[in-house]
Amino acid sequence: MSCLLMGAVRSVRCLANVVLWGLWLITPLFGQDQPPTYSAQLSASTAATDADSSKAPLVLTLQDALARAKSNDPQFRAALTELGLAHQDVVQSRAGLLPNVSYNMQFSYTQGNGSASGRYIANNGMHEYIAQGNVHQELSPGMLAGHRRVEAAEALARAKSEIATRGMVVTVVQSYYGFVVAQRKYSTAQKAALEADRFFSISQKLQSGGEVAKSDVIKAQIQDLQQKRDLENALLAMNRSRLDLSVLLFPDFDENFTVVDDLRLPEPLPAFTEVQAAGTKNNPEIRAALASLRQTDQEVKVAWTSMLPSLSLDYSYGIDANQFAVRGPAPDRLRNLGYAATATLQLPIWNWGAGYSKVKQADLRRQQAHVELSFAQRQLLANLRSFYDEVETARAQLASLSQTAELASDSLRLTTLRYQAGEATVLEVVDAQNTLTQARNLYDDGQVRFQVAFANLQTLTGSF
């Protein structure tokens, strides 16, 4: 009779444990889009390093991060600087096509020797006053080609700045969503550590009631310790990703910020024909290759025109006389104020082949530019297909990864119930716990993979 009574008590206790454990597992295990423990844990982890911990953290969206990176990323700023320098070259080249006006004022004194000219026969007198305005114009066949060359250089710099902009977007997207996922993984590690700790407690209770062996408790304890170490590593990875993002966004290395977790199932992609058309039209690599080709074409023309005649014109108006006056001394009172004009024609005859050598150099650069343009066009087509397939695959796998995580959550719940009913081993429970953690992390990694792949595709096509 006593044995039957003890068996009934043990059955009731087991049933109660099953009910309590089931109620705890009913709470959603896969609602990771807004983890409830992010803000509290982030505040605790950054309080020791923030200089002003009482200040509310700055909340950043992806667009905020992109705007800040444009101001602080050195490679992007270097590309903008090169564009600004190239634009100023265009301004200077355009100015070189127009006449230059200058004013020259000079006084020359020559030691006297009793003559009107003084001791130096090359001078016009002991006193010479020069006050003239000068208009100077260079006329050369290569001037227009040189101007077009710097215009092509500006177009090349503009294309490179666009390449730098799109590359910066990829970097920011990777760091931004890397931080978001690091937060998610930290939340997942928290849940896994809590779950392992509770399972360790359950195994201890079952072992004390004689329902499981001591080895189950040891295995549960090992799993509990491992999850605690994983939690510490997840916290380290989250803090590291925060620092990496801070370097990109803040000039004063501010760590007091949070980011908006806007990862969700993305919208369907446009058809590949639309993407291909956008890539052909908006690809900065192709524009850079075309600008480089135009630049080398103009360099060939400049090299050829350097062997042609050039003309320079000068027109001067003012005074070049022995008196600083409009008219000379009496009795003649000759007018000193007047003008002079000169024209100089320069005809190159022999330069030992240096001019033709420069033409060959420019032609070699042009041939290389042709090859690079052809390669850029082929590479664009290959990258468009490759990046598009990567985005499609990443997007298609997100639904599968989400379903896998949900199934892993349900599997852990059922496996734990079976373990409490004596139908499953502790190894099955531990495997289910690890599978759930891995499934959650893979889903988060899949979302980052899609975002980065999408950003890479837009480096070829621009926004669509």
Return the number of other C-beta atoms located less than 10 Å from residue 250's C-beta: 17
Tell me the pLDDT band of 1, cut-offs 50, 70 and 90: very low
Q: What is the 3-state secondary structure (H, E, C) of 102-121?
A: EEEEEEEECCCCCCCCCCCC
* Count of domains observed in the chain: 1
pLDDT at position 269, please? Answer: 84
- How much is the pLDDT for 27? 38
**Residue 19 has what pLDDT?**
39
* More confidently predicted of 6 and 276: 276
Contact 227, 192 (CB under 8 A): yes
Q: What are the C-alpha distances in Å from 172 to residues 69, 238, 256, 403, 441? A: 7, 16, 18, 29, 21
Report the chain's mean pLDDT, rounded to a whole number: 85
Residue 335 domain-assigned? no
In a domain, 111, yes or no: no
**Residue 236 forms part of a structural domain:** yes
**Residue 114 covered by a domain:** no
Q: What is the pLDDT of residue 23?
A: 39
d(CA 69, CA 244): 12
Could you list the residue range(s) of the whole structural domain that residue 249 is in?
16-98+140-308+348-461
Average pLDDT over residues 306-323: 90
pLDDT of residue 53: 52
What sign does the CA torsion over 177, 181, 182, 184 have? Answer: positive
Q: Is the confidence at residue 309, as pLDDT, over 70?
A: yes
Q: What is the pLDDT of residue 31?
A: 38
431 found inside a domain? yes
In the 8-state DSSP scheme, what is residue 37? T
Q: Judge whether 196 lies within some domain.
A: yes
Residue 5 maps to a domain: no
The model's pTM is: 0.74
Question: Looking at the predicted structure, is the pLDDT value of residue 9 above 60?
Answer: no
When pLDDT is averaged across residues 74-86 and rounded to a whole number, the result is 92
**CATH number, residue 360:** 1.20.1600.10
> Average pLDDT for residues 289-294, to the nearest whole number?
93
Each residue of 197-255: pLDDT tens digit? 999 998 998 888 888 889 989 999 999 999 999 999 999 999 999 999 999 999 888 88
Backbone angles phi, psi at 60, to 5 degrees: -115, 135
Q: Would you say residue 116 lies in a domain?
A: no
